[in-house]
Chain A
Amino acid sequence: MKVLWSPTKSDFFLTYSNSSVYLYQTSQGAVELNDGTYATRLAENSEVPFIKCVAWSPAKLEDNLVAVGTANGRVILSNFGQKADNDLDGREFVPKHQKQCVYLFWNPLDHNLLAEGLDKHSKDCCVAIWDINAKTGGDTASLERQRYSSSTSDINAVTRPYVEIGHGETTTSFSWFHKEPKAFVTGMSGRLKVYDIRDASKPHLFAQTKAVYGVCADPLSDSRIASFSESHIALWDTRSFEKPLLTLQETKPVITIDWCPTRRGYLAVLCKDSSTIKLFDIRHSVIGSEELDPVITERTVQPKKLSSISYFSWHPTFENRLLTVSPDGELRDVQVYERMPLTFASNFHFSWACGKKVIDLYFEDEEIDISIKMKNRALGGYGLCTEDPMQNALAVKNEPHLYGLWSWLTIAKDIIAQEEFQSKTKGTPSTWEKFIGVKNLLWPDNTCIGGQRSEMETVTWSYPDGSRGNTSQENSPIYKYTSPLRSRALQLCGWDYKREARDSLLGLLASLQTEGDFERAAAIALFNLKIGKAVDILCQANLPNGNAVAMALAGFTNEKNALWRKTCANLRHSLEDPYLRAMFTFLSSDKENFDEVLTEEPCMAVKDRVAFACIYLDDQKLWEYLKNLSQELKEKGNLDGILLTGASQEGVELLQSYVDITSDIQTAALAAIYCMPSEITKDTRISTWIESYRILLDSWRLWHQRSKFDIMRHILDSNIRVPTQAFISCNFCGKSVACNMTLASKVRPYMMSGGQSTQTKQRLTCCPGCKKSLPRCSICLMNLGTPSGSALYLQKEPSDFEEKLSSYGNWFTWCQTCRHGGHAAHIRNWFQNHSDCPVSGCSCKCMTLDSVGQLSAQSE
């Protein structure tokens, strides 16, 4: 059983045995070729007896025309009984003498030529090339032969070959060349011979060899030929045909070899009783006059384990696809896989090559990688709003875990501003340590020993009816702890935080109500013992079970009412909102012990838990609580924890674990620079985040964002100077013409030597490196050159940094396309009235080309 792909129809193949030819079509059907690949048997031809070989016509025909060679040398054309617009079906080619057909090959370009190999006969040729369109039946020789023939169909027979070669010789193999259609190579009587059919009297080239079997020319490189004998495979080059270039030794006898039609220098070899096909990737190069040893990479393909292969066929067009057949007729469709190189690009394109194609994948989903999210955030202006840091939190609204960070930054910044204002007005230096966390604020030494001495005071309720409890009458008084530092901590938590000079608590409650955060407002009111206010808030809120909760609250008295408490405890468990639950927990728990309020899950937001703890826990307990909480949040990389750690070493650790978990270096870098200057600025982790984020912005071509980021760093920490990133280079020496620090000292003499030594009109009209003149202004024709920028090196006072050395009009500018330009003021005047270049003879439409709009459109 042998297999052949159709040379013209990519989904057709045939199989043949001694007695039948079967036509198949792939895609679906009952014959499984591979996992998920099937084929259907469309037709069969069992009329031709003793089939020796089959060849599929390379002509693009409607039908599937095949030539079938038989044991008596006849070749019969068949199209499996399909209708056709030609009369080729059934045509026969009859050699003079009856001898077995050895092979059949259609010419790949001259589709009417069919080469037939015949067994040795002393009076006849061994290679007959038939013209399938030759006249049939008419000549006398055929009529004569008909008399001796048993066949009755010889009316449609061709008996005279177009070309005959090799009288009395033995032919074993044959191959047409693919680019020279008149030429072929054949294995004949111990030689490989190359013929041209226009002059078939003698071979053009020949080589003495045993390897006369299976000769085949590489369809992609005509000079490369392979053939075999027994277990040797010989590789030939027609340009030096005397001896094989290379011989490959196999351990078993070779059955068949064939070049891959889609990949140069790729030879498939099938050995006897083998379950694998070996693929040799042969690279042979002549470099200059030097010949490199060919490199052979060997791969094996195993269509099915433990199942030997009797024949295979390369697919003519699909890259690296093979069809194999086992001795018992089992077919396998095999794909030989190539090495696929991969590349990830910064803009979320991911490409890989496969054969001769490149496949490009573009990721859009933020879930795939945080970098996509980071880029989108950067485009939305995330982190660039220094005026009100809370605006940055709005840019990441749907990511609540970032909220804690930005609200802490906002409050911390406000407090800093207030402190600075107060210290200015009072003339006393501020004692406030910037960007401090609650834990470090209360215990700066990070230990509870010797720190914090809080006052304990007994406090009373304000009841719904407006009355206040009486401390002496209360049978279980509530103790509240206060100290100046605790008040500050409450400020950081936002509980005692005067933003707009309103009563801090009432202001907070009002703003929470406006935002619709009623549960939180009610809870904060309650924790501040304003039970009436809490009831009011809940009644207004129109919450699903708000009224019931309000009722329950309203009924609260501080007497140990067992029934009320029990009911509250039950109701508590049915509440999902952490704030409503916390309220009941608070009311019903033992006043000495508020653990449940702080630990029950789901719990209130970190800032509310901390604020609560700062009011009701004694020093020892508060320390324990804050220590454990900050440790927990740090480990989880929860940014809410920044409230506790602040911009401390611990804060950096928290950010690091946040980065470890999320890879969000954007937020980490932004948090770090918003806290600047602070003790953590010098931490290498922070500089790594900042640098990495800048690199990311650059690689996304978000240069505006990156510049703004740099500017922001400078604003927040004036110690940071971002080095110059663009230079103007001299046409002659290629060095920068800018007067930077190192050049400044050398440049100054030239600045003075221009004759205009007044401070305001300093000029440097030549390159500081090679001293050649700078180009001239195309309007005034003076040499360009102005001291520009803020000239840091001349100024001692940082306040002078902003002052430019010369006015903008004197700076020079130029068109990015034609490179003509001049003083900014001149050029600006010119382009108010013109759209083309001021240099005569230059046809550049500078103004239309160099629009800012175009640039920004391109950067998208």
Chain B
Amino acid sequence: MVSVINSIDTAHEDMIHDAQLDYYGTKLATCSSDRLIKVFDVKGGQQTLVANLAGHEGPVWQVAWAHPMFGNIIASCGYDRKVIIWKETNGTWDKLYVYSNHDSSVNSVAFAPHELGLVLACGSSDGSISIVFSTGDGSWDAKKINGAHSIGCNAVSWAPAVAPNALLDQSGKQQPVKKLVSGGCDNLVKIWREEDSQWVEDQKLEGHSDWVRDVSWAPSIGLPKSIIASCSQDCRVIIWTNDGTFNNWTSKVLHKFNDVVWHLSWSITGNILAVSGGDNKVSLWKENLEGQWVCISDVNKGQGQITDGQSAISS
């Protein structure tokens, strides 16, 4: 058997906009138009609902888990222009902090690598990106990138902290990378870096011809290059690569799909890219030794069936 497929009835009353597994893959958080976030324990194919987090006053678009070193912490963002940080203490989930400094729907939320502390980025329809961080003494602070994407920012994703081209500090130790990538309604993918405690644009990647729907920075496990995937309403997925020596990013179209491509996700080693599109398919892609991206598996959600792609895997 290649894989075991399992369907979870979340009992959400409306459409689910995001589902995220925690660092260990043992907890699942989902969020929906029904304004709720649900937390499930996932063990051996069984899911148990452990919490309903109510606090948003509109559809909740995304959820994100913090690194477990901070405890069980979830950040959520929604149509109500809020970002809520939730923390579990002795089995009870409570609001830890509410950030409400956006003027429009907050579409995307992502925790930074733990090396940077408890930091998260939020992208909003007001076109700005906020970087919200815990100051360590229980209070929170934020920095804002105004006008990051005109019309709106749809997705944010952090660079891995351990990167091949990381800067070295005086003692020769690697400094964690502090960069993020965003995608927006201006059809652009932008990379941001912190410089003198201000966030500045590092790169502007032009390639899409319609709204960028999702961006995802690949985990760089041992590879001497940085890789970003972006997908768009122009039906394309683009892989952006930087070889680590200069700040040059080269682009390669992974595939032109028949419909809008909504979401992307990398496997933990960055070897497999999962893509979901308006054609109702989830497909898994892998780069072969010749540098070509090939579809290794197609999953049709309607039937829950798996059909193997080009490089057939026996099932």
Query: Which of A's residues lie within 8 Å of B, judged by CB?
Result: 220, 263-265, 283, 285-288, 292, 295, 335, 337-365, 367-371, 656, 659-661, 663, 665, 668, 682, 684-685, 687-689, 691-692, 695-696, 699, 701
Q: Write out the residue numbers on chain B whose beta carbons fall within 8 Å of the beta carbon of A364.
A: 1-4
Given contacts A361-B3, A363-B2, A692-B162, contact A356 B14 (CB under 8 A): yes
CA distance A376 to B205 in the complex (A): 39
Q: Are A668 and B222 in contact (CB under 8 A)?
A: yes
Q: Are A295 and B105 in contact (CB under 8 A)?
A: yes
Q: Write out the residue numbers on chain A whose beta carbons fall within 8 Å of the beta carbon of B164.
A: 684-685, 688
Least CB separation from A660: chain B residue = B223
Identify which of A351, A361, A368 contacts B4 (C-beta below 8 A). Answer: A361
Which positions 249-277 of chain B face chain A at CB distance < 8 Å? 259, 262-272, 274-277
Q: Are A343 and B296 in contact (CB under 8 A)?
A: no
Given contacts A295-B79, A341-B18, A365-B2, contact A371 B162 (CB under 8 A): no
Hey, what's the 0/1 contact readout for B1-29 against A, CB within 8 Å counting as 1?
A: 11111111111111111111111111010
Q: Write out the residue numbers on chain B whose beta carbons fall within 8 Å of the beta carbon of A352.
A: 19, 263, 274, 276, 282, 301
- Top 8 A-B pairs, shortest CB-CB distance: A345-B25, A347-B25, A345-B21, A665-B222, A353-B16, A337-B280, A342-B265, A340-B276
Q: Are B264 and A342 in contact (CB under 8 A)?
A: yes
Most buried by A among B1, B7, B276, B306: B276
Closest-CB distance, A320 to chain B (whole angstroms):
9
Given contacts A335-B280, A342-B276, A663-B221, contact A358 B10 (CB under 8 A): yes
Identify which of A337, A661, A699 contacts B24 (C-beta below 8 A). Answer: A699
Least CB separation from A367: chain B residue = B313
Least CB separation from A293: chain B residue = B104
Q: Are B28 and A351 in contact (CB under 8 A)?
A: yes
CA distance A368 to B284 in the complex (A): 10
Hey, what's the 0/1 contact readout for B218-247 against A, CB within 8 Å counting as 1?
A: 000111100000000000000000000000
Closest-CB distance, A719 to chain B (whole angstroms):
13
B299 lies within 8 A of chain A by Cβ? yes
Q: Are B269 and A339 in contact (CB under 8 A)?
A: no
Q: Write out the residue numbers on chain A whose beta carbons fall within 8 Å of the beta carbon of B278.
A: 337
Identify which of A283, A358, A365 contacts B79 (C-beta below 8 A). Answer: A283
The total of interchain contacts (Cβ-Cβ below 8 angstroms) comes to 223
Q: Are A663 and B19 in contact (CB under 8 A)?
A: no
Mind listing 21 A-B residue pairs with CB under 8 Å? A220-B13, A283-B58, A287-B80, A337-B259, A339-B263, A340-B262, A341-B262, A344-B267, A344-B268, A350-B267, A350-B274, A351-B21, A355-B15, A358-B7, A359-B6, A359-B304, A363-B2, A364-B1, A365-B1, A684-B166, A696-B269
B172 lies within 8 A of chain A by Cβ? yes
- Chain A at the B interface: SS class: mixed
Q: Write out the residue numbers on chain B whose beta carbons fall within 8 Å of the beta carbon of A358.
A: 7-8, 10, 16, 19, 28, 30
Q: Are A357 and B9 in contact (CB under 8 A)?
A: yes
B174 lies within 8 A of chain A by Cβ? yes
Given known contacts A292-B79, A370-B271, what 17 new A-B pairs fall within 8 Å (CB)? A283-B59, A285-B57, A285-B80, A287-B58, A338-B15, A341-B262, A342-B274, A344-B267, A350-B265, A357-B9, A358-B19, A360-B6, A368-B313, A665-B222, A684-B174, A691-B162, A696-B269
Least CB separation from A284: chain B residue = B58
B130 lies within 8 A of chain A by Cβ? no
Which positions 20-47 of chain B face chain A at CB distance < 8 Å? 20-26, 28, 30, 32-34, 42, 45
Q: Write out the residue numbers on chain B whose beta carbons fall within 8 Å of the beta carbon of A295.
A: 79, 105
Closest-CB distance, B251 to chain A (whole angstroms):
20
CA distance A659 to B12 in the complex (A): 43
Q: Write out the residue numbers on chain A whose beta carbons fall within 8 Å of the beta carbon of B263.
A: 339-342, 352
CA distance A821 to B296 in the complex (A): 54
CA distance A295 to B124 in the complex (A): 14
CA distance A338 to B263 in the complex (A): 11
Q: Are A359 and B301 in contact (CB under 8 A)?
A: yes
Closest-CB distance, B11 to chain A (whole angstroms):
8
CA distance A264 to B12 in the complex (A): 12
Q: Write out the residue numbers on chain A whose beta carbons fall within 8 Å of the beta carbon of B271.
A: 369-371, 663
Q: Are A685 and B42 in contact (CB under 8 A)?
A: no
Q: Are B21 and A349 in contact (CB under 8 A)?
A: yes
Given contacts A340-B262, A349-B21, A351-B21, contact A356 B10 (CB under 8 A): yes
Least CB separation from A656: chain B residue = B224
Closest-CB distance, A223 to chain B (whole angstroms):
15
Given contacts A355-B16, A362-B4, A684-B164, contact A339 B262 (CB under 8 A): yes
Closest-CB distance, B142 to chain A (whole angstroms):
20
Closest-CB distance, A636 to chain B (whole angstroms):
10
CA distance A361 to B21 in the complex (A): 12
Q: Write out the residue numbers on chain B whose beta carbons fall within 8 Å of the beta carbon of A369.
A: 267, 269, 271-272
Q: Are A341 and B6 in contact (CB under 8 A)?
A: no
Most buried by B among A220, A263, A362: A362
Q: Are B276 and A263 in contact (CB under 8 A)?
A: no
CA distance A422 to B277 in the complex (A): 67
Closest-CB distance, B219 to chain A (whole angstroms):
8
CA distance A370 to B222 in the complex (A): 13
Q: Write out the residue numbers on chain B whose beta carbons fall within 8 Å of the beta carbon of A661.
A: 289
B91 lies within 8 A of chain A by Cβ? no
Q: Write out the residue numbers on chain B whose beta carbons fall within 8 Å of the beta carbon of A344.
A: 21, 265-268, 272, 274
CA distance A361 to B168 in the complex (A): 40
Q: Write out the residue numbers on chain B whose beta carbons fall within 8 Å of the beta carbon of A360.
A: 5-8, 42, 45
Q: Are A357 and B7 in contact (CB under 8 A)?
A: yes
Q: Write out the residue numbers on chain A whose beta carbons fall within 8 Å of the beta carbon of B57.
A: 285-288
CA distance A288 to B270 in the complex (A): 43
Most buried by A among B19, B162, B164, B174: B19
Q: Write out the residue numbers on chain B whose beta carbons fall within 8 Å of the beta carbon of A692.
A: 162, 221-222
Closest-CB distance, B41 to chain A (whole angstroms):
12
Q: Are B14 and A263 in contact (CB under 8 A)?
A: yes
Q: Write out the residue numbers on chain B whose beta carbons fall within 8 Å of the beta carbon of A361.
A: 3-6, 299, 306
CA distance A340 to B279 in the complex (A): 11
CA distance A354 to B10 in the complex (A): 11
CA distance A695 to B270 in the complex (A): 14
Q: Are A341 and B266 in contact (CB under 8 A)?
A: no
Closest-CB distance, A845 to chain B (whole angstroms):
19
CA distance A44 to B269 in the complex (A): 59
Closest-CB distance, A701 to chain B (whole angstroms):
6
Identify which of A263, A367, A689 contacts B15 (C-beta below 8 A). Answer: A263
Least CB separation from A365: chain B residue = B2
Hey, what's the 0/1 contact readout for B155-181 against A, CB within 8 Å counting as 1?
A: 000000010101010001010000000
Q: Write out the residue numbers on chain A whose beta carbons fall within 8 Å of the beta carbon of B42.
A: 349, 360
Identify which of A337, A350, A357 contacts B10 (C-beta below 8 A). Answer: A357
Closest-CB distance, A197 to chain B (whole angstroms):
28
CA distance A689 to B174 in the complex (A): 13
Closest-CB distance, B305 to chain A (whole angstroms):
11
CA distance A695 to B162 in the complex (A): 11
Q: Are B162 and A688 in contact (CB under 8 A)?
A: yes
Q: Write out the residue numbers on chain B whose beta carbons fall within 8 Å of the beta carbon of A341.
A: 16-19, 62, 262-263, 276
Least CB separation from B27: chain A residue = A345
Q: Are A285 and B58 in contact (CB under 8 A)?
A: yes
CA distance A97 to B304 in the complex (A): 55
Q: Write out the residue numbers on chain B whose beta carbons fall within 8 Å of the beta carbon of A283.
A: 33, 58-59, 79
Least CB separation from A363: chain B residue = B3
Q: Are A368 and B23 in contact (CB under 8 A)?
A: no
Closest-CB distance, B15 to chain A (whole angstroms):
6
Q: Write out the residue numbers on chain B whose beta carbons fall within 8 Å of the beta carbon of A346.
A: 23-25, 268
Q: Write out the residue numbers on chain A whose beta carbons fall within 8 Å of the beta carbon of B45.
A: 360, 362
Least CB separation from B11: chain A residue = A356
Q: Write out the residue numbers on chain B whose beta carbons fall within 8 Å of the beta carbon of A684.
A: 164, 166, 168, 174
Least CB separation from B18: chain A residue = A341
CA distance A169 to B11 in the complex (A): 45
Closest-CB distance, A700 to chain B (whole angstroms):
8
CA distance A338 to B33 in the complex (A): 13
CA distance A82 to B268 in the complex (A): 58
Q: Are A343 and B105 in contact (CB under 8 A)?
A: no
CA distance A682 to B14 in the complex (A): 54
